[in-house]
Structures are given as structure tokens and as C-alpha cells.
Amino acid sequence: MCANEIESRVVSTDLAPGTPSGLGEKIARLLLAYSPLGSLVRWVSRLRASVHSKLLGAFLLIALLLIAMGATSLQSIASVARQSRLLDQARERVDASRQIEHALGLQMNFTRNALLLRDYATIESMFRENNRFRDTFDRLEAAAPPEQRETIQRLRTAQDKVMATVARIAALIREDKADEAMDLHLSEGYPLYREIATLVTRAVRTEESGMGRLREGVEATYRRALLLTGGFAAASIVLALGLGFVISWSFILPVRAADDFLAQVAKGAFEGSIDVPNRDEFGALAARMNHMSRELHQLYEDQRRAAHQLRALNSQLEQASRAKSNFLASMSHELRTPMNAILGFTEMIRDGLYGEVPPEIQEPVSDIHTCGKQLLSLINNVLDLSKIEAGHMELAVGEYVVEDVVNTVKLSLRSLAATKGLDLVTTVPGDLPLCLGDGKRITQCLMNLTGNALKFTREGRVEIRVEAQGDALLFAVSDTGIGISPDQIGSIFEEFRQADATVSRDFGGTGLGLSITRKLVELHGGRIWVESEPGKGSTFLFSIPVRVAQEASA
């Protein structure tokens, strides 16, 4: 993707990122867009608190509500219990009052019976009943609320008076003064009974109306407790849902924004940035992602620049290579053209085209020709090396016959060997297959090695030996020359090297032949090496595939 196509984009939580759709999702979107929940979500996002604190706060809020609900319920239960106790007490008092009423009735009955029967025993049971009456009074007084105390006090006073009257009636009966007793009963006893009965009835009524109020209070408390509990439960549910919604969306939105943003970055749009309102871990994450994106963008730009530079450099190199190639071609031509004239004219003179050559200049003419040939050979070597260095050396791969190669070399160098008094021996097996390679270049290699061998050998022999070794051909050129010391063998195939600087003065040569030979052998996919012992002679060997791949080139 080209950088120009990348638009700067800001991924924001306000955008609806590409996310799963569904009914729940739609509702959530509507809530976020049109309800205060949306702004609440943003507010929660902006809170400078960690995710942990936010969750803890939300759970704590719900827990507080539940605790409040529990407390209210407990309070209601306590209130109901207290009112029930009051109700029980009131009921007890009503019971006691009714007992008093009942006892009073009994007392009245006993008194009447005693008066009718004039029976002292009955009087006794009346007193007994009076004692039970007192117990009831004690119970009633203990349980009575303050406003009832006065009534009870009056009851007690009236009862005491009744008891005094009854005692007097009993005394009169005991003295057989029945009529007086009857009078006393009617004048004092009976009205007192009536008074007590009235008081008791009033007390009972008061209690019963109090009980009614208490009952209503209990019901009201119960209803209120029900309402409060229900309200708290509903509030808890709403709060839990609301907080869950707000907190989860305050997390979901940045996560989705991050997802979108990372998808863009993955597509190579490094110039965008992510913008979330969160000041929690998600905010930190977003900032980190923006940093990452900037770094990636920087790296991408660096890499693009580097690639651009590399392309420019490559094209420069290609241009330089073309220039070098053109230069080599024109140099080759420019050098050969005068050489052509020098060698051509010399050859024509020597061949007598211009008439008989006087004997005294026959040798100089021949020398000019020999030196011209040497100069040409040097030029060829320098050009070959330049071509190899520039990567323009190409092999003209074709079929060749090894025997022809060896014979060409032998014919070319026979006269040199003869001049130096050396034997030039060749050993080529007759059953060698037809080979594939650049015959001219292989000839050049063998010529270089054999020429060197002849050059560095003063007496003895030079042997060219060829043998097949599986898929490879081994060419070996042995001499009985000066040899090469072990420390010089390592660098013998490098350019401009001869084993010894003094050697070139004694034997001549530029030191290019071996280097070119090595490179030509390597172009054929082969290798070259030397085995030597100073003073005894050297053997140069190279091995190349019998059939060289067609496209071999430098």
C-alpha cells in the first residue's frame, strides 16, 4: 500500500465500530446514544481510576444498598414486634378487667346469698374471692399504662370501701342483725359495686380502643416494611443493571476502538491514532498503541526510504555496469584496431608481400611480430579480467573434444618447448566422451597453465594429463620447474600475483593468467588447485564437469 493512499484516521469511541449486531447490541446503542447512560459511560471512562477501583466501587455501591435494605427490614421487624408486645399487654389488661368484672359479679352474688341465707360460710368465700380480686388488681396495675393508673387507683379505693362494707355486713350477720346488714348492703354496698362495674367497663373500653389503634399501627408498619423491601430490591436490581451497563460499556468501547485501530494498523494504515476518553488501564493501553503505531509508521517510512535509496542505487549500479560494459567493448575494439594493423603489416612483410625481406631485417620483423602477439595476449588478459570483474564474462557453451583442446595447446606451445629444450608430453585417454562446455575458454585455461609450466621450467619436462573421474574431467599440468613454497601457494591464484617478485624479472608475465584461469574454471562450475614442492616442480590441476550447464555465466 502506497503511503499517499493512507488517510489519517482517528478511531474514537464515539464512532460505531464494526462489531457484532443483535437485538441486545441495538438496544445498547440506542441507550448509549439517547439516554443519560451514554454520558454516564463517558463520565466513568474519564474517571481517573483503575478498572479494579471502578469495579470495586460499583460492587460496594450495590452492597451498601443491600445492607440498607437489610437494616430497614430489621427495623420494621423490631417495630412490629414492639407493637405486638403492646397489643399482648393490652389484651392481658382487658382480660384482667373482665376478671375484675366477673369477680365483682361473684362478690355481689355471694353478698346477696349471705344476706338471704344469713350464712357465715358464704361470707368466708366472699372474702376469698376478694383476695383473688386483689391479685388481679396487682397484675392490672403492673401492666397498665400511666393514664390508666388513676382509674385503677379509684377502682382499688372503691374495692377497699366495698371490702370494708362487706366486713361490716359480715359482722352484722354474725350478730344476727340481718335487717341492718341488708340496709347497709343496699345503701353502701350495692352503689359501690355499681361504681366499680362502671369504672371497669370504662377501662375495658379504653383498652379496646387502644388495641384497635395498635392493630392499625402494626398493619401500617407491615405495609411500610413490604414497600421499603420491595423498593430496595427494585433499586438494587436497577442499580446493578445500570452500573453493569455503564462499567461494561466503558470497557467495551475502548476495547472495540482498539480492535478497529489494530485492524487498520494490520492493514498498513500507520498514520491513524486511537482516541479513548478512558483514564484507566484502557487509556494507558490506547496511549501505548498510539506510540506503537507511530513507531511502526516511522519504521515503515525508514524502510520505504531505504527501499527507495536501494532502488536508486541499484539503477545507478546498473547504469555504471552498462557504462563499464560499453567501455570494455569500445576499449577492446580500440586496442585491437591498431594491433590489427601492426600484426597485419608485419605478417605481410614477413610473408614477402612487399618483396623479398633482406636477411638482416628478417629477425627484427619476426621480433616485432612476436612482441605484437605478446602485447595482444596481455591486452586479452586485461580485458578478460575486466570482463570477469564486471560480470560480463559469459561462456559460449557447446560440445567440444578434449583431444582437440590438448592438441591445440600442444601445437601452439611446441615451438616454445623445443626452444627451451623441454619435453612436452600429453596423455589423453582415447575413450573420453564428447564434452559440453566453452572449448575456447578451456583451451585458454590449459594454455595458460602449460605456458606457465614451460616458462618456469629450465630443464626436464612438462606433461599435460587428462582423465575422467565420474562426472568430472581432471586436467593436470606437471612440470619439473622451480616449484612454489607452501606460504606462496595460498595466494597464487590472486590477481597480479606471482610466487616471487623476482620471478617476474626472471621469467616475465603479469600474473594475470592464473587468476583468469581460476575464474574461467569456476565459471564452468569446477575448481583449481596446485600441488608443489619447491625445487622439484609443481602440478596444477583443475576439474570441471563433463557436461556444463548451458546458462553458466559470471
Partner 1 sequence: MKTILYVEDNEFNRKIVRHLLGRTSYRLVEATDGEAGVATAREARPDLVIMDIQLPRMSGLEATRQLRADPATAGIPIIVITSFALAGDEEKAREAGAAAYLAKPYSPRELLGMIRELAPES
Residues that bind partner 1 (CB under 8 A): 325, 328-330, 332-333, 336-345, 347-348, 351, 353-354, 376, 383, 387, 392-396
Q: How far is the CB of 324 from partner 1 (least distance, A)?
A: 12
Question: Which CB sits closer to partner 1, 106 or 383?
Answer: 383
Q: Which residues of 10-49 are buried (b: 16+ CB within 10 A; e: fewer)?
A: ebbbeeebeeeeeeeeeebeebbeeeebbebbbebbebee
Separation between Cα atoms, residue 173 and residue 123, nearest integer Å: 9
Question: Which CB sits closer to partner 1, 343 or 546?
Answer: 343
Chain Cα centroid distance, residue 452: 68
Question: Which CB sits closer to partner 1, 16 or 329?
Answer: 329
Q: Which residues of 302-327 are buried (b: 16+ CB within 10 A; e: fewer)?
A: eeeeeeeeeeeeeeeeeeeeeebeee
Q: How far is the CB of 393 from partner 1 (least distance, A)?
A: 7
Question: Which CB sits closer to partner 1, 80 or 552?
Answer: 552
Q: How far is the CB of 455 from partner 1 (least distance, A)?
A: 23
DSSP class of residue 380 equals: H
Q: Which residues of 246-276 are buried (b: 16+ CB within 10 A; e: fewer)?
A: bbebbbbbbebbbebbeebbeeebbbbbbbb
Q: How far is the CB of 310 from partner 1 (least distance, A)?
A: 28
Which cell is 452 given? Answer: 606457465
List strand residue ranges (DSSP E) for 174-246, in order: none
Question: Which CB sits closer to partner 1, 375 or 428?
Answer: 375
Cα Dmax for the chain: 216
Q: How far is the CB of 337 from partner 1 (least distance, A)?
A: 5
Helix then strand count (H, E) for the chain reads 14, 9
Question: Which CB sits closer to partner 1, 201 or 321?
Answer: 321
Nearest by Cα to 218 from 66, 76, 13: 76
Q: How far is the CB of 478 from partner 1 (least distance, A)?
A: 31
Separation between Cα atoms, residue 307 and residue 442, nearest integer Å: 41
Q: How far is the CB of 298 from partner 1 (least distance, A)?
A: 46
Q: How far is the CB of 348 from partner 1 (least distance, A)?
A: 5
Question: Which CB sits closer to partner 1, 80 or 376?
Answer: 376
Dihedral over alpha carbons 243, 247, 250, 256 (to 10 degrees): -120
Question: Which CB sits closer to partner 1, 338 or 421?
Answer: 338
Question: Which CB sits closer to partner 1, 79 or 325?
Answer: 325
CA angle 228, 229, 235 (to 5 degrees): 85
Q: How far is the CB of 394 from partner 1 (least distance, A)?
A: 4
DSSP 13-81: TTS--S---SHHHHHHHHHHHHSHHHHHHHHHHHSSS-HHHHHHHHHHHHHHHHHHHHHHHHHHHHHHH
Q: How far is the CB of 528 from partner 1 (least distance, A)?
A: 21
Separation between Cα atoms, residue 332 and residue 326, nearest integer Å: 10
Question: Which CB sits closer to partner 1, 108 or 393?
Answer: 393
> For the chain, what's the residue count?
554
Is 143:96 a contact under the CB 8 Å cutoff?
yes
Pairing state of beta strands 423-427 and 461-469? parallel
Question: Which CB sits closer to partner 1, 59 or 354?
Answer: 354
Question: Which CB sits closer to partner 1, 25 or 318?
Answer: 318
Question: Residue for cell digits 557436461?
Answer: 547
Q: How far is the CB of 379 from partner 1 (least distance, A)?
A: 10
Q: How far is the CB of 461 from partner 1 (least distance, A)?
A: 31
Query: What count of other Cβ atoms lies within 10 Å of the Cβ of residue 169?
Result: 25
End-to-end CA distance of the chain: 36
Question: Which CB sits closer to partner 1, 298 or 319?
Answer: 319
Q: How far is the CB of 314 from partner 1 (least distance, A)?
A: 22
Query: What count of other Cβ atoms lies within 10 Å of the Cβ of residue 402?
Result: 22
Question: Which CB sits closer to partner 1, 375 or 541?
Answer: 375
Pairing state of beta strands 435-437 and 398-400? antiparallel
Separation between Cα atoms, residue 511 and residue 497, nearest integer Å: 5
Q: How far is the CB of 362 from partner 1 (least distance, A)?
A: 17
